[in-house]
Structure 1
Amino acid sequence: MNPNELSAATFPKTNLTILQDKSSFCFGIDAVLLADFTRVKSNDKVIDLGTGTGIIPLLMAKTSRASHFMALEIQKESAQIAIMNVEKNHLKEKISVINGDIKSVRELFVPECADIVTSNPPYAKANSARKNQNEAKNIARHEILCSLEDVVSAASYLLKSNGSFFMIHRPDRLSEIFNMLSKYRLEPKTLRLVQPFSDSAPTMVLIESRKNARQEIKILPTLVIYKAQGEYSDSVNKIYMNL
Structure 2
Amino acid sequence: MTKPILKPNERIDGLPSQNINIIQNPDMFSYSLDAILLAHFAGVKGKGHGLTVDLGSGTGAVGLFYTPKVSGQVKLVEIQPELAEMAKRSINLNDLADRVTVIQSDMKAIFDEIKPGSVETVLTNPPYFPINESTKTNIDEHYEIARHELMINLPELAQITNKLLKNNGKVYMVHRPERLADIFSAFAMRKLMIKRVQFVYGKPNREANMVLIEAIKSGKSGGVRIMPPLTAYTESNEYTPEVQEILYGKAWEK
Same fold, judged at TM 0.5 (above):
yes
C-alpha distance in structure 2 between counterparts of 1:27 and 1:159, whole Å:
25
- 1:38 paired with 2:42, answer yes
In structure 2, what residue type is equivalent to 1:126? I
- 2:153 alignment counterpart: 147
CA deviation vs aligned residue, 1:62-83 (integer Å, no higher than 9, x gap)? 2x02311010000000000000
User: Secondary structure of 1:19's match?
Assistant: strand
* Structural mapping, 1:120-135, within 5 Å: 120-127=125-132, 129-135=135-141
Gapped regions of structure 2 (runs ≥ 5):
none
User: Secondary structure of 1:78's match?
Assistant: helix
C-alpha distance in structure 1 between counterparts of 2:112 and 2:64, whole Å:
25
C-alpha distance in structure 2 between counterparts of 1:161 and 1:227, whole Å:
41
1:94 is displaced (CA, Å) by 1.0
Fraction of identical pairs, as percent? 32
* Structural mapping, 1:82-161, within 5 Å: 82-127=87-132, 129-161=135-167
Task: Verify the 8 A CA contact 1:45 1:66 in the aligned structure 2.
Answer: no
User: Secondary structure of 1:227's match?
Assistant: coil
C-alpha distance in structure 1 between counterparts of 2:228 and 2:60, whole Å:
28
- 1:178 paired with 2:164, answer no
2:78 corresponds, among 51, 57, 73, to 73
C-alpha distance in structure 2 between counterparts of 1:236 and 1:74, whole Å:
30
- 1:29 paired with 2:33, answer yes
Task: Verify the 8 A CA contact 1:102 1:150 in the aligned structure 2.
Answer: no
1:156 is displaced (CA, Å) by 0.6
Which of structures 1 and 2 has the larger relative contact order (alpha carbons within 8 angstroms, sep 6+)?
Answer: 2
- 1:238 paired with 2:242, answer no
C-alpha distance in structure 1 between counterparts of 2:149 and 2:10, whole Å:
26
In structure 1, what residue type is equivalent to 2:152? C
1:13 is displaced (CA, Å) by 4.0
1:2 is displaced (CA, Å) by 6.1
- 1:190 alignment counterpart: 196
Q: How many residue pairs get matched?
A: 242
In structure 2, what residue type is equivalent to 1:32? I
CA deviation vs aligned residue, 1:94-149 (integer Å, no higher than 9, x gap)? 10100001121334321111110010000001235342111100110000111111
C-alpha distance in structure 1 between counterparts of 2:99 and 2:233, whole Å:
33
> Segments of 4+ in structure 1 off by > 4 A?
none
- 1:6 paired with 2:13, answer no
Task: Verify the 8 A CA contact 2:56 2:76 in the aligned structure 1.
Answer: yes
C-alpha distance in structure 1 between counterparts of 2:146 and 2:13, whole Å:
19
1:198 is displaced (CA, Å) by 1.7
1:24 is displaced (CA, Å) by 0.7
CA deviation vs aligned residue, 1:158-190 (integer Å, no higher than 9, x gap)? 100001000011111111110100111000000
**1:51–1:155: structure 2 CA closer, same or farther, 3 Å change rule?**
same
**1:59–1:2: structure 2 CA closer, same or farther, 3 Å change rule?**
closer
Q: Once superposed, what is the RMSD of the aligned Cα atoms?
A: 1.5
In structure 2, what residue type is equivalent to 1:109? I
In structure 1, what residue type is equivalent to 2:91? V
Gapped regions of structure 1 (runs ≥ 5):
none
Task: Verify the 8 A CA contact 2:204 2:235 in the aligned structure 1.
Answer: no
Task: Verify the 8 A CA contact 1:40 1:66 in the aligned structure 2.
Answer: no
* Structural mapping, 1:189-228, within 5 Å: 189-215=195-221, 216-228=223-235
1:16 is displaced (CA, Å) by 2.1
C-alpha distance in structure 1 between counterparts of 2:137 and 2:145, whole Å:
10
In structure 1, what residue type is equivalent to 2:30? C
User: Secondary structure of 1:71's match?
Assistant: strand
